[in-house]
A and B are shown apart, each in its own frame.
Chain A
Amino acid sequence: NAGVTQTPKFQVLKTGQSMTLQCAQDMNHNSMYWYRQDPGMGLRLIYYSASEGTTDKGEVPNGYNVSRLNKREFSLRLESAAPSQTSVYFCASSPLLAGMREQYFGPGTRLTVT
Chain B
Amino acid sequence: DQQVKQNSPSLSVQEGRISILNCDYTNSMFDYFLWYKKYPAEGPTFLISISSIKDKNEDGRFTVFLNKSAKHLSLHIVPSQPGDSAVYFCAASLQGAQKLVFGQGTRLTINP
Contact = CB atoms under 8 A, between A and B. Distances in A.
A93 B91 CA distance: 15
Contact of B46 (A48, A104, A108): A104
B105 A42 contact: yes
Q: In which size bucket is the chain B interface? A: 20 to 34
B42 A96 contact: no
A97 to B, nearest CB: 12
Contact of B45 (A40, A50, A100, A105): A105
A50 B98 contact: yes
B89 interface: yes
A108 B104 contact: no
A4 interface: yes
B98 A94 contact: yes
Interface of A: 4, 31, 33, 35, 40-45, 48, 50, 58, 90, 92, 94, 96, 99-108
